[in-house]
Amino acid sequence: MEIRVLRYFLETAREGNMTRAAARLFVSQPTMSKQLKELERELGAKLFVRSNYSIKLTEAGALLRERAEDIISLVDKTEAEFKSLEDVTVGDIYVGAPESEGMSAFAEAARDLQRAYPKIRCNIYSGNRTDVCERLDKGLLDLAIVMGYVDLSKYNYLGLPMKDTWGVLMRKDDPLAEKESFAISELAALPLICSRQWLEQEAPQWFPISAGELKVAATYTLVFNGAVMVKAGMGYAVVLDKLVSTGLDSDLAFRPLEGVGQTDLYVIWRKQQAFTPAAELLVRELRKRFQ
């Protein structure tokens, strides 16, 4: 498979129309059509279902799209890294991170680095721990910020000074908002709004019952959307503290959970990682602050 043809494939998949995709990539539609048909022959699978006005991916096409996005991202990242090898003052750094107040400690280090080297740019990929570690392992990220459930023996790491506190987010006019805190056992009776990561990774450690027995009203990927559902009265969100405003002008309240230890945060990177000059400068800044 040629990288150029994978770019044709991805653009066609994104546009859902070969003519528009060809125009965006400045190639002729017949050329693109021929290249994609050759790609299908090479893979021995039909990638698209074509109609007069649109193109849809087959199951094989959806699989290739997932793989091709990773391949193209890695190719683009590698090309950019080689371009920046001779100039330490320029470059992109790719960092995976969860929604956490711990990002503020990292952001301060990145801020000071950028003040010294204004042409260095941090690119943040937000995702849950599984997504972030997978991208780090594939080489798509230079660094990742993770909570302390990761197998740290696989990585080099630095501990961040901040810790996350789990709790329950609810409406201020809810009678339960009069409580100062919640016991873990109380959650089992509440309609919960939670992240899928929490259901898969934290909940099994907290409850003697299976996640399927919890009253899950909704799940979210971004805590902002979880807060919107709480405001609508759908239930109670299990969240980390300080990710949602609960001040005097807010309709929401946060109450900590008893019996759940604070979560440690780490900056991790692959062992034997070959950093670009820009990423190496950031690691030095982080070591200076947190080693």
Q: What is the pLDDT of residues 196-227, one digit of tens each?
A: 888 887 888 888 766 568 899 999 988 999 99
H or E element, residue 227: helix 223-231
User: Was domain 166-261 assigned CATH 3.40.190.10?
Assistant: yes
User: Was domain 84-164+264-290 assigned CATH 3.40.190.10?
Assistant: yes
The pLDDT > 70 percentage for the chain reads 97
Residue 85, pLDDT > 70, answer no
Kindly report the pTM of this predicted structure: 0.67
pLDDT attached to residue 177: 94
Those residues with Cβ within 8 angstroms of residue 157's Cβ, 6 or more apart along the chain or in another chain: 266, 267, 268, 269
Those residues with Cβ within 8 angstroms of residue 289's Cβ, 6 or more apart along the chain or in another chain: 105, 108, 109
How would you classify residue 45: left for phi > 0, otherwise alpha for psi between -120 and 50, otherwise beta?
Answer: beta
The residue ranges of every structural domain in the chain are 3-72, 84-164+264-290, 166-261
Q: What are phi and psi of 177, to 5 degrees?
A: -70, -15
- Within this chain, domains 84-164+264-290 and 166-261 share the same CATH topology: yes
Buried b (16+ CB within 10 A) or exposed e, 199-238: beebbeebeeeeeeebebbbbbeebeebbebbeeeebbbb
Q: Confidence band (pLDDT; 50, 70, 90) for 143? A: very high
Q: Which CATH architecture has domain 3-72?
A: Orthogonal Bundle (1.10)
Q: What is the pLDDT of residues 33-52, one digit of tens each?
A: 899 999 999 999 999 988 77
